[in-house]
A and B are shown apart, each in its own frame.
Chain A
Amino acid sequence: MNGRKRGRFARQTGWNVLGLAIFVVMVFPVFWMLSTAFKSNEQIISLNPTWFPLHPTIQHFRDAIHRPFFWVDVKNSLIIVSVTVAISIVLAFLAAIALARYRFGGRKLFIVLVIGIQMLPQAGLIIPLYVVLARYHQTNALTGVIVTYMTFVLPFSVWTLRGFLLGIPKELEEAAMVDGSTRVGVFMKILLPLMGPGLVATSVFAFITTWNEYIFARVLLNDQSKQTVTVWLSYFSGSSRHTDWGALMAASSLTAIPVVIFFLLVQRRIAFGLTQGAVRG
């Protein structure tokens, strides 16, 4: 008994070491961005790389925050992203249920529409999208951007959530229905908990994609008081003069914070779901 436990412990330690090694390699560029934000300008361009700034400076963070419209643009980004993600995930989930659990005419057409939209290169859509939104007075408005982002988030959300739904065996629902529960009851008690991880993964992706989106926000929003934080970030390297790299790295580090917070809040759902599901695979 002891030998087996020791064997398992040794194996898990092996996996842990591998996991940590991969963590270091994957995260290195992020670490580089963060450490650059704390380095002095001399250290940033120096020929001998400074791996770890021993005398960190917070001047870059101060420069970044004091650039005009930082907090306003962060607020705009938060509004746009949370509304987009909230509405899109709900709508996509409903559509995914329709696709995965119902047979209806036009089903195949809808699937083709959903996957087809993603195949369109976005570059070609900038001008006509602007023309459409201008007609409805939705340029220079947060709602115009929200609606635009929804059209990009909805397709892959539907596609992905449908996949997760298909992974849930229908027998579970049918067994519950036989036991007398209603359709809505099945939805609440069986589907939703099992879909937790899928919903979380999809919403994190939607969050990050919309948080980091640049070109449509740039073209659609004019007033600096309405722009998103990615547009605010672009001003650091938009002039014809030199770019303040330290400030740009500090600013980028700051803009990553909401994403990480969002993930830490929702990641428990995935881990929790996992202990309900398979542990070894």
Chain B
Amino acid sequence: MVPAVETTFDRSRRRRRFWNRTLQGAVPYGLIAPIVVVIAVILGYPLYWLVKLSTERYGLFELIRHSGTSIGLDNYRSVLRDSIFWHTLLRTVIFTAANVTLTMVIGTLLALLLVRVSTVVRILLSSGLVLVWSMPVVVAVQIWYWMTNYQNGVVNYALTKLGFGNFFQHDWYATTFSQLSLTTLLIVWGALPFVVITLYAGLAQVPRDLVEAAEVDGARGWRVFLDITLPILRPILLILTSLSIIWDFGVFTQPYLLIGQSKIVPGNYLMSVYLFEEGYFKSDYGRGAAISLLMLLMVAVLSVVYVRKMVRIGDAQ
């Protein structure tokens, strides 16, 4: 009830309430402030640099003198007119789709498997996944190459001995399809641990009482999964899918090292390799910046569906 005349006590209460509400409203800003500050301070200039350089002719000569010549959108024009760019884009989209699908499907199945095995096997399997995860990529590539090289790779040896045919000195790196398939296997193998362990952690959030209640109601395993587990896992699945798309689209080390510099040709370029070869290896930083920003645009388009869903889930709550 508002009194006819405001006393000093009422005014101070109103002030207190105003400050309380402001402080309350300021809480989320306070929570995100440190991150915004760090990112702005560290990445602010690099982002500006990328945008600025993409409109300039900027090679080694300009790098040393710290200044380039403005050429407007010529860098973009030259990239977009390059047929190699478009072929590479198509190849990378297919490559990304294959990688992400394999990773998410196998990852989900493995996470569900982790739930069902006994504790000993679970710790063994998850530790094994972490061991895989912890291998430096360069070392993993080298091991993969040893296992698959035509001269004395164990894969050829095992396949021949197990009777799958004669794989003596079979060169797994002879065709583009073979090269990229092996790269896919390597990447999926390395990506599974993160997906499996994160999904498993997500499964941990499914409240037991909900599951038991559903089972009391007579629901069977698959129904429980679809009706109870999946909705709760949905945000995490969306996150993992969107992250996988982003990472697999821009993956560089595995294809570059596994196929090997001497076998990299425009016919087996992936976007990040294209960026490296056409931009940074040639010290054409302007072109490299343009390609980087175009890649940013591409992957944003590819992942927009999942990102939007993620944002909307938050809104619905």
Interface residues of A (CB under 8 A from B): 11-12, 15-16, 18-20, 22-23, 26-27, 29-30, 32-33, 36, 45-49, 51, 91-92, 94-95, 97-100, 102, 104, 107-108, 110-111, 113-125, 127-129, 131-132, 147-148, 150-151, 154, 156, 158-160, 162-164, 166-168, 170, 194, 196-198, 200-202, 204-205, 208, 211-212, 214, 230, 233-234, 237, 245, 248-249, 252, 255-256, 259-260, 263-264, 267, 270-271, 273-274, 276-281
Contact = CB atoms under 8 A, between A and B. Distances in A.
B94 to A, nearest CB: 19
Contact of B130 (A94, A102, A167, A263): A263
Interface of A is mostly: helix
Contact of B208 (A18, A99, A277): A277
Q: How large is the interface on B (under 10, 10 to 19, 20 to 34, 35 or more residues)?
A: 35 or more
B280 interface: yes
B93 interface: no
A47 B151 contact: yes
B242 interface: yes
B89 to A, nearest CB: 14
A197 B189 contact: no
A111 to B, nearest CB: 6
Interface of B: 25, 27-29, 31-32, 34-36, 38-39, 42-43, 45-47, 49-50, 63, 110, 112-119, 121-140, 142-144, 146-147, 151-152, 154, 157, 189, 192, 194, 197-198, 200-208, 210-211, 215, 221, 224-225, 228-229, 232-233, 235-236, 238-239, 242-243, 246-247, 250, 252, 272, 275-276, 279-280, 285, 288-289, 292, 295-296, 299-300, 303, 307, 310-311, 313-314, 317
Contact of A166 (B198, B242, B314): B314
Contacts of B113: 15, 18-19, 22
Nearest to A51: B154
Given A160-B239, A271-B119, A27 B128 contact: yes
A267 B233 contact: no
B39 A163 contact: no
Contacts of A49: 152, 154, 157
Nearest to B238: A163
A279 B246 contact: no
A158 B35 contact: yes
A192 B130 CA distance: 24
Contacts of A18: 113
A205 B49 CA distance: 29
B314 A201 contact: no
Given A26-B132, A197-B201, A277-B206, A111 B46 contact: no
B42 A132 contact: yes
A160 B261 CA distance: 35
